[in-house]
Amino acid sequence: MAGTGVFSPGRAKIEARTLRRDRWWLEPAITFTVFTAFIIYSTIRAFWDVNIYSAEDHLLSPFYSPCLTNDCPEGASHLGTPVGDWFPLSPALLILILPLGFRMTCYYYRKAYYRAFWLSPPACAVAEPHTKYTGETRFPLIFQNAHRWFFWLSLPLPILIGYDGIDAIYADGEWKFGLGALVLLVAAVTLLAYSLSCHSCRHIMGGRLNHFSKHPIRYWGWTQVTKLNGKHMQLAWISLIAVWFADFYVLMVAADVFGDPHIG
């Protein structure tokens, strides 16, 4: 590293890459650990294609919602099976590409994984290990600019997961208030809040305007999204944990590890 970055000629001659003594490494370490665990878990679940639906309780894993292929368990395909047989792999892969793209290009997640995985930089005022840097100007990172498209494409998914939750409450023509339905509804609400709090949504809602006074409804929408946007990081984490837990809960119920506690 000698001769580049903070060690460049003319800058203060200090040998250490950082003089920070606080636990700057803790946040990227937590991010790395949790994201890695989620990636491993979700990859296994997405390819596994087993115990994704509890027919008795009408609980469908959010990783598989909507389930669009003929491989889907009976009763799990609320939108039918338009994909039929042509997609030979797990039906989750058709769906997960959308939230994956949305989160990979999310402005909060970019900060989180650039720090935790790419160490660019690992923390503020901590020198990064890379000798060259071009940012998001070239392939593949230039595709971060597709964030708004993933926003639009993944926006229906929380609504569909919410529909799954309601379907579990009103199953087979009878009311049944189960814990699983509540878990799905919590996942749906947090996912929707995360989506609506996104910076692209804020821009589309009104951020691109220069004359708010000429567009009072969009201005009002922009102020509401701005409030949500202030919690974007928290919503990113909460929704991730919520959807993770929802899938795990469905797995446990579908595998008969425990039954879905319910009233009615």
Partner 1 sequence: MTITESANNPKAFAPGVDKSKSYQANFKVWRGNSETGALQDYSVEVNDGEVVLDIIFRIQADQANDMAVRWNCKAGKCGSCSAEINGRPRLMCMTRMSALPPGEEVVVTPMRAFPVIKDLVTDVSFNYEKAKQIPAFAPKPREADGTYRMQQIDVERGQEFRKCIECFMCQNVCHVVRDHEENKKSFAGPRFFIRLAELDMHPLDTNDRQMLAQEKHGLGMCNITKCCTEVCPEHIKITDNGIIPLKERVVDRKYDPLFKILGLSKKKTND
Which of residues 70 and 145 has its CB atom nearest to partner 1 in the complex?
145
Identify whether 66 is preceded by a cis peptide bond (ω within 30 of 0): yes
Contact 122, 25 (CB under 8 A): yes
Which of residues 40 and 231 has its CB atom nearest to partner 1 in the complex?
231
Which of residues 23 and 173 has its CB atom nearest to partner 1 in the complex?
23
Minimum distance from residue 221 beta carbon to partner 1 (Å): 13
Question: Whole-angstrom Cα distance, residue 67 to residue 60?
Answer: 9
Which of 44, 88, 132, 174: binder of partner 1 (CB under 8 A)?
Answer: 132
177's enclosing H/E stretch is strand 177-178
229: contact with partner 1 by CB under 8 A: yes
Determine whether 165 is exposed, middle or buried from the number of CB atoms within 10 Å of its CB (0-12, 13-18, 19+).
buried
Phi, psi of 116 (to 5 degrees): -80, -35
Query: Using a CB cutoff of 8 Å and minimum separation of 24, what contacts does 115-119 make?
Result: 115/27, 115/28, 115/31, 116/27, 116/28, 116/29, 116/31, 116/32, 116/35, 117/32, 117/35, 119/28
Which of residues 176 and 199 has its CB atom nearest to partner 1 in the complex?
199
210: contact with partner 1 by CB under 8 A: yes
Binding part of the chain for partner 1, among 45-53, 174-182, 189-197, 209-217 by CB under 8 A, reads 209-217
140: contact with partner 1 by CB under 8 A: no
Determine whether 138 is exposed, middle or buried from the number of CB atoms within 10 Å of its CB (0-12, 13-18, 19+).
exposed
Which of 26, 48, 84, 133: binder of partner 1 (CB under 8 A)?
Answer: 133
Give the x/- contact pattern for partner 1 in 19-58, rule: CB under 8 A: xxxx------------------------------------
116's enclosing H/E stretch is helix 107-116
Binding part of the chain for partner 1, among 57-65, 89-97, 108-116, 246-254 by CB under 8 A, reads 108-116
214: which DSSP letter?
G
Question: Whole-angstrom Cα distance, residue 223 to residue 206?
Answer: 9
Name 74's Cβ contacts closer than 8 Å, sequence gap at least 6: 55
Which of 34, 117, 148, 224: binder of partner 1 (CB under 8 A)?
Answer: 148
Which of residues 43 and 120 has its CB atom nearest to partner 1 in the complex?
120
Question: What would the two tokens of residue 193 be?
Answer: 């809040």
219: contact with partner 1 by CB under 8 A: yes
175: contact with partner 1 by CB under 8 A: no
Which of residues 218 and 262 has its CB atom nearest to partner 1 in the complex?
218
Q: Which residues form the interface with partner 1 (CB under 8 A)? A: 4-6, 8-14, 18-22, 107, 110-111, 114-115, 120-121, 124-125, 127-128, 130, 132-137, 141-142, 145-148, 199-200, 202-203, 207-215, 219, 229-230
